[in-house]
């Protein structure tokens, strides 16, 4: 596509109209020497349509490993031999983690469980955990508990859960290569339910799971259609023992092209750097990302892999004069 950056400047930056699938593909196919320009434009779009604030979030695992599903990238599937160990839920420790997360300026604290969907026991634990955190810590609580029934969606919304994460992971056309134990459509139904119940929708995926560039663009367009409040963008971190353990992480340039393309396809969304950024982009990756369309970060560790220290990220935001988004503006 000729002059995709010129078209995107007019269409997305000036008019706020997202790139469509074909246009997102043109960004993903840009030559290396154009990537810097694409990131600069993505940054301008983020500043224009979202503003300078960066949303900071913490995540904590309330059930690790032993999941019955077979998502081929996931070290928490009980079907693969991976070194992830289960942890026992400890509510006082969870409240301490929420305090520590809030002390970094974070506004979201997400409880994550490695399950297909919650059973009654897990729902009871979530009930207790949410009440204990709400009683002591000023922070929005998010949950990521897999596929929900209507009753479970109603209950979580009733508890005051602010946002629900459920990733579509990849393009609909590529999903059967990634997961065989449930469908893309099942995931999509949960996302519709989350919205209907009045919770914010958080939905993203992983770049670099063997999808073609066309499928990467397809995924960006499918997310744009869903209009999630937040999109976590992960880059494959091949976990030993999983079916995708031998794939390579995306190259830095491919990761940066993806960041620009997703921002230009989702101009108003909270676009969050999630797992794998250190691997795909190295130490400079966070800087390149937040100057290329990213406007949310996870502080501290991810669920099964180590992230960077929160201080490094927070110092970077200070240096770049990007304020941490405040809780009062999100409540």
Q: Considering the rule CB under 6 A, would residue 197 count as an interface residue with ligand SF4?
A: no
Q: Residue 142 and residue 161: Cα distance in Å, rounded?
A: 6
Q: Name the token pair of 317.
A: 């935001």
Q: Which stretch binds ligand SF4 (CB under 6 A): 67-75, 218-226, 227-235, 250-258?
A: 67-75
User: Please, which residue, 181 or 318, has the CB nearer to ligand SF4?
Assistant: 181
Q: How far apart, in Å, do the first and last CA atoms of the chain sit?
A: 42
Q: Considering the rule CB under 6 A, would residue 61 count as an interface residue with ligand SF4?
A: no
Q: CB of 71: closest distance to ligand SF4 in angstroms?
A: 3
By CB under 6 A, name the one of 30, 38, 106, 114 that touches ligand SF4: 114
- Which sign does the torsion angle of CA 122, 123, 127, 130 carry? positive
Q: CB of 124: closest distance to ligand SF4 in angstroms?
A: 20
Q: With contacts defined by CB under 6 A, how many residues of the chain interact with ligand SF4?
A: 9
Q: CB of 271: closest distance to ligand SF4 in angstroms?
A: 20
Scanning residues 125 to 154, which ones bind ligand SF4 (CB under 6 A)?
A: 146
By CB under 6 A, name the one of 38, 42, 55, 69 that touches ligand SF4: 69
In Å, what is the CA distance from 264 to each residue of 9, 116, 201, 284? 9, 32, 19, 22
User: Please, which residue, 69 or 230, has the CB nearer to ligand SF4?
Assistant: 69
Q: Residue 234 and residue 173: Cα distance in Å, rounded?
A: 19
Q: Residue 234 and residue 216: Cα distance in Å, rounded?
A: 13
Q: Considering the rule CB under 6 A, would residue 71 count as an interface residue with ligand SF4?
A: yes
User: Please, which residue, 30 or 71, has the CB nearer to ligand SF4?
Assistant: 71
Q: Which stretch binds ligand SF4 (CB under 6 A): 65-73, 123-131, 244-252, 268-276?
A: 65-73
Q: Residue 226 and residue 246: Cα distance in Å, rounded?
A: 32
Q: Considering the rule CB under 6 A, would residue 122 count as an interface residue with ligand SF4?
A: no
Q: CB of 75: closest distance to ligand SF4 in angstroms?
A: 8
Q: Considering the rule CB under 6 A, would residue 278 count as an interface residue with ligand SF4?
A: no
316: enclosing H helix or E strand: helix 310-319
Give 264-305 as a DSSP string: HH-TTSEEEE-TTHHHHH-TTHHHHHHTTT--EEE-S--SSS
Q: CB of 249: closest distance to ligand SF4 in angstroms?
A: 18
The answer to whether residues 69 and 37 touch, using CB atoms and an 8 Å cutoff, is no
Q: CB of 77: closest distance to ligand SF4 in angstroms?
A: 4
The answer to whether residues 13 and 43 touch, using CB atoms and an 8 Å cutoff, is no
Q: Which stretch binds ligand SF4 (CB under 6 A): 42-50, 68-76, 221-229, 273-281?
A: 68-76
Q: Which of 167, 288, 305 has its CA nearest to residue 238?
A: 305
In Å, what is the CA distance from 144 to each residue of 19, 137, 248, 301? 28, 19, 27, 16
By CB under 6 A, name the one of 77, 215, 269, 286 that touches ligand SF4: 77
Q: Considering the rule CB under 6 A, would residue 275 count as an interface residue with ligand SF4?
A: no
Q: Considering the rule CB under 6 A, would residue 24 count as an interface residue with ligand SF4?
A: no
| List of residues contacting ligand SF4 (CB under 6 A) | 67, 69, 71, 74, 76-77, 114, 116, 146
């Amino acid at each position: 596509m000729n002059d995709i950056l010129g078209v995107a400047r007019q269409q997305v930056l000036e008019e706020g109209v997202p790139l469509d699938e074909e246009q997102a593909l043109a960004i993903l196919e840009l030559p290396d020497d154009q990537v810097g320009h694409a990131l600069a434009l993505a940054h301008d779009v983020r500043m224009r349509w979202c503003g300078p604030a960066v949303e900071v979030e913490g995540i904590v695992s309330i059930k690790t490993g032993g999941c019955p599903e077979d998502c081929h990238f996931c070290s928490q599937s009980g079907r693969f031999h991976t070194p992830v160990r289960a942890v026992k839920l400890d509510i006082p420790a969870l409240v301490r983690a929420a305090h520590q997360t809030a002390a970094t300026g974070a506004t979201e604290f997400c409880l994550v469980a490695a399950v297909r969907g919650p059973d009654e026991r897990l729902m009871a634990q979530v009930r207790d955990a949410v009440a204990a955190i709400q009683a002591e810590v000023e922070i929005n609580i998010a949950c990521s508990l897999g596929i929900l029934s209507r009753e479970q969606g109603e209950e979580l919304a009733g508890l005051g859960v602010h946002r629900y994460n459920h990733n579509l992971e990849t393009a609909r056309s590529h999903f059967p290569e990634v997961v065989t134990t449930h469908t893309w459509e099942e995931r999509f139904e949960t996302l519709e339910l989350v919205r209907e119940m009045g919770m914010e929708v958080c939905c993203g995926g992983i770049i670099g799971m063997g999808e073609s560039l066309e499928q990467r663009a397809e995924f960006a367009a499918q997310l744009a259609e869903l209009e999630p409040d937040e999109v976590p963008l992960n880059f494959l971190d091949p976990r030993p023992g999983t079916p995708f353990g031998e794939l390579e992480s995306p190259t830095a340039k491919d990761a940066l092209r993806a960041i620009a393309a997703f921002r230009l396809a989702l101009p108003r969304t909270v676009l969050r750097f999630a797992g794998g950024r250190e691997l795909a982009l190295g130490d400079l990756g966070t800087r390149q990302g937040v100057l290329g369309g990213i406007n949310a970060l996870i502080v501290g560790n991810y669920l099964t892999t180590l992230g960077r220290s929160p201080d490094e990220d927070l110092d970077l935001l200070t240096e770049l004069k990007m304020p941490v988004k405040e809780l009062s503006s999100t409540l």
